[in-house]
Amino acid sequence: ISREKIKFHSALTIECMSVKTEKLYKIVERAANGEINIPEFQRDFVWDKDQVAELVDSLYKDYPIGILVFWYNHKNRCYNIVDGLQRIMSVCIIFDKKPVWIRDKDYWNSLRDKYDVYVYYDNNSEKFVFVPASEKVRNSPEYVSIREIMTTKNIYELASMYKDVWN
């Protein structure tokens, strides 16, 4: 649907929505650079660790994760998140990109630690399994942080860090 104004009765004007497909990492980049923000009425991040791990599992399996809804705020010249904050925050954490609406670095670091997701390969089921961070998981060499995978620039560096796991 194109963005055009439609007259509804004589007093109201509504704007049609447009649909756009965008890569997830681009949405994360937009949240980090301020092109996407949250309106005052948006609730806080409320997902638990299991929900974040389940989202990563869905992304890995290429399942649909729903539609994100944005509203362009002409005053602030950015897109406000109307629906999808929990998913966007989760993906920002996974990609280790602090969104502009999180101003406190200590709070951001606590979110990163609390909601980190790890993966391991289950030989019995022959599948990758995604689990939330815990002391046991963090201290076990079989588990690899998804954030570490997503932020490593050199695949050889990542492989050398976990060579004992994969040998």
Across the 167 residues of the chain, what is the mean pLDDT of every consecutive 10-residue run? 46 67 94 94 94 96 94 92 96 96 96 95 93 94 91 75 57
Please tell me the predicted confidence (pLDDT) of residue 9: 45
Which residues, at least 6 apart from 32, have a Cβ–Cβ distance to it below 8 Å? 92, 97, 98, 99, 100
Please tell me the predicted confidence (pLDDT) of residue 54: 97
Which residues, at least 6 apart from 150, have a Cβ–Cβ distance to it below 8 Å? 94, 95, 96
d(CA 167, CA 161): 12
Please tell me the predicted confidence (pLDDT) of residue 88: 97
pTM of structure: 0.82
Please tell me the predicted confidence (pLDDT) of residue 15: 63
